[in-house]
Chains A and B, each alone.
Chain A
């Protein structure tokens, strides 16, 4: 998966979990949980969607890698 593809999947997942968030406002450093106000259930759903779309197995220990857009893209793109 390329970084662009990863970013696309992440943005789609976010739109689904938090429809009120405008993905144009998300910068690479945006904290996906705190800045976007995702609670633990939202985040779980987010992880679930990412996992389904990318086929990546995401363990709880991997959650810190999904903290920001930049870190998530890097990780999903296998970087």
Chain B
């Protein structure tokens, strides 16, 4: 059961869209999960064959519970290599596997010797830790290692007191590259992050973090990911002989899964129940945010005349379906400003800020029945306005219909709340952990404004920023709002 957002701790399988024996690809929707807030389409994290649906329709299980097992298909050379792992070295030890070794099979294999070996897994890890006394590794080195997919616990440092240096990491990466020769570097490998809890649990369970695919925000490896990768009591034997990976998203719709008609199999929550669980989920997350995040706030009044005139002119010639609403401009500007001020775009994890390498703009969508969802528009800074507009419309429709995808709910890097339509002048939001900033847009109102020494009536909007003081200072926030305002004065460049 994947964590579909920071506020989720359990989920109910509403429907399986696959059955054992089915081929699935990474990203395919394989199940529908009901959470406190909504029914959500869950995607497969792997490409392979569905082995077994473990969690049945109607069952409610905590995040981290195995939903199904998927045997990964060995990928060809063209397939993206899974997040970096020093796995290859261990391949010769592994028990005869029924599949030819491909990159993914090797990843599986890397975990196998440990579970198959007679000695306790924990010991191996402990030994490794002992062999390399805990010399502090700087965050920069750690980051570089993650980018290159180098497992720091396997490295012998050449720096002072055995400290691991940047050169060590790069050398290890180069060696690995030689061993693995023709594989292209994986785009995913540049983004490995691990939560502190996950790190601790990994040591306890003897799980090699390097072999894991993270499902948390920005691909971070969460505790759930680690637990999934660990052999579970009696369930483990199967994996010792066959490289089966426990994947999150699949379950058992005894009969034929019907892709249509959403809550056909298991009943989704009733309206009243949904409203309650929605409030509770929002309450937990927001309480956590206010408890953990030292918010600071800045605001600015932005002249919207140029943007609105430009928009009006543009829309005049267009069919209704192609018209833009002002929110599209605001979102694009917010995303571009986040790229200009990257200190606000990312996550507070592991007691430090990890900048995100793309801008996935979370959008607060209020549901007509009450409550809200915050799906992300992926790579919002790179989208044409018309594309951004259609994504926004699509997200709103699917959010209200309960058809969002799991990935959309987990990887926003910064969030926007737009209360302009609700008639308030400004909104100071509560940050969605582990993100570090939330932008608020108020209503566009006509106000007397001094322009060029004269008073004129202009449309203005108040923009606000709530940001995490651990990750940035108000100066950064001020730069963000200034950048946002600048962008909105040049709408033709958005």
Binding site for B on A (CB under 8 A): 18-20, 33-34, 37-41, 44-45, 47-48, 51, 58-61
Q: A20-B369, A39-B421, A41-B393 are in contact. Are A51 and B320 (CB under 8 A)?
A: yes
Q: When chains A and B are docked, how far (Å) is the Cα of A34 from the Cα of B421?
A: 8
Which residues of the other chain, B, contact A34 by a CB distance below 8 angstroms? 423
13 of the cross-chain contacts (CB-CB < 8 Å) are A18-B368, A20-B368, A34-B423, A37-B368, A40-B326, A40-B327, A40-B420, A41-B325, A41-B327, A41-B393, A44-B325, A48-B320, A58-B320
A60 in contact with B396 (CB, 8 Å): no
Which residues of the other chain, B, contact A19 by a CB distance below 8 angstroms? 368
- A47 CB → nearest B CB, Å: 5
Which residues of the other chain, B, contact A33 by a CB distance below 8 angstroms? 421
Q: When chains A and B are docked, how far (Å) is the Cα of A19 from the Cα of B401?
A: 11
Looking across the interface, which residue of chain A has its beta carbon closest to that of B366?
A: A39
B320 in contact with A41 (CB, 8 Å): no
At the interface, yes or no: B177 with Cβ under 8 Å from chain A? Answer: no
Q: When chains A and B are docked, how far (Å) is the Cα of A51 from the Cα of B322?
A: 13
At the interface, yes or no: B315 with Cβ under 8 Å from chain A? Answer: yes
Looking across the interface, which residue of chain B has its beta carbon closest to that of A60?
A: B315
A40 in contact with B325 (CB, 8 Å): yes
At the interface, yes or no: B316 with Cβ under 8 Å from chain A? Answer: yes
Q: When chains A and B are docked, how far (Å) is the Cα of A61 from the Cα of B376?
A: 32
B320 in contact with A40 (CB, 8 Å): no
A44 in contact with B369 (CB, 8 Å): no
Classify the secondary structure of B's interface with A.
helix
B392 in contact with A41 (CB, 8 Å): yes
A44 in contact with B320 (CB, 8 Å): yes
Binding site for A on B (CB under 8 A): 312, 315-316, 319-321, 323, 325-327, 368-369, 392-393, 396, 420-423
- A64 CB → nearest B CB, Å: 13
Which residues of the other chain, A, contact B393 by a CB distance below 8 angstroms? 41, 44-45
Q: A20-B369, A60-B312, A60-B315 are in contact. Are A44 and B323 (CB under 8 A)?
A: yes
Looking across the interface, which residue of chain A has its beta carbon closest to that of B369?
A: A20
Which residues of the other chain, B, contact A59 by a CB distance below 8 angstroms? 316
Which residues of the other chain, B, contact A37 by a CB distance below 8 angstroms? 368
Looking across the interface, which residue of chain B has its beta carbon closest to that of A59?
A: B316
Please give 5 more A-B residue pairs, beta carbons under 8 A apart, in addition to A41-B396, A45-B393, A59-B316.
Answer: A34-B423, A39-B422, A47-B320, A48-B321, A51-B319
- A35 CB → nearest B CB, Å: 12
* Of A33, A37, A39, A48, most B-chain CB atoms within 10 Å: A39
Q: When chains A and B are docked, how far (Å) is the Cα of A18 from the Cα of B366?
A: 13
- B404 CB → nearest A CB, Å: 16
- B388 CB → nearest A CB, Å: 12
Which residues of the other chain, B, contact A20 by a CB distance below 8 angstroms? 368-369
Which residues of the other chain, A, contact B396 by a CB distance below 8 angstroms? 41
- A25 CB → nearest B CB, Å: 15
Which residues of the other chain, B, contact A47 by a CB distance below 8 angstroms? 320
Which residues of the other chain, A, contact B423 by a CB distance below 8 angstroms? 34
A40 in contact with B421 (CB, 8 Å): yes
- B38 CB → nearest A CB, Å: 16
Q: 5 closest pairs, A vs B, by CB?
A: A39-B421, A40-B325, A48-B320, A20-B368, A51-B320
Q: When chains A and B are docked, how far (Å) is the Cα of A18 from the Cα of B326?
A: 21
Q: When chains A and B are docked, how far (Å) is the Cα of A58 from the Cα of B323?
A: 11
Q: When chains A and B are docked, how far (Å) is the Cα of A59 from the Cα of B319?
A: 8
Q: When chains A and B are docked, how far (Å) is the Cα of A35 from the Cα of B254?
A: 47
- A20 CB → nearest B CB, Å: 5
- A34 CB → nearest B CB, Å: 7
Which residues of the other chain, A, contact B327 by a CB distance below 8 angstroms? 40-41
Which residues of the other chain, A, contact B325 by a CB distance below 8 angstroms? 40-41, 44
Looking across the interface, which residue of chain B has its beta carbon closest to that of A34?
A: B423
- B372 CB → nearest A CB, Å: 12
Q: When chains A and B are docked, how far (Å) is the Cα of A33 from the Cα of B420?
A: 12
Looking across the interface, which residue of chain A has its beta carbon closest to that of B392?
A: A41
Q: When chains A and B are docked, how far (Å) is the Cα of A8 from the Cα of B17?
A: 39
Q: When chains A and B are docked, how far (Å) is the Cα of A39 from the Cα of B315?
A: 18
- A57 CB → nearest B CB, Å: 9
Looking across the interface, which residue of chain B has its beta carbon closest to that of A58?
A: B320
Q: When chains A and B are docked, how far (Å) is the Cα of A38 from the Cα of B319?
A: 20
- B308 CB → nearest A CB, Å: 11
Which residues of the other chain, B, contact A18 by a CB distance below 8 angstroms? 368
- B268 CB → nearest A CB, Å: 16
A60 in contact with B392 (CB, 8 Å): no
Looking across the interface, which residue of chain B has its beta carbon closest to that of A36?
A: B368
Q: A41-B392, A41-B393 are in contact. Are A60 and B323 (CB under 8 A)?
A: yes
Which residues of the other chain, B, contact A61 by a CB distance below 8 angstroms? 316
- A45 CB → nearest B CB, Å: 8
- B390 CB → nearest A CB, Å: 11
Q: When chains A and B are docked, how far (Å) is the Cα of A39 from the Cα of B419?
A: 9
Q: When chains A and B are docked, how far (Å) is the Cα of A47 from the Cα of B320?
A: 7
Q: When chains A and B are docked, how far (Å) is the Cα of A33 from the Cα of B323?
A: 18
A60: which of B316, B321, B368, B422 is its contact (CB, 8 Å)?
A: B316
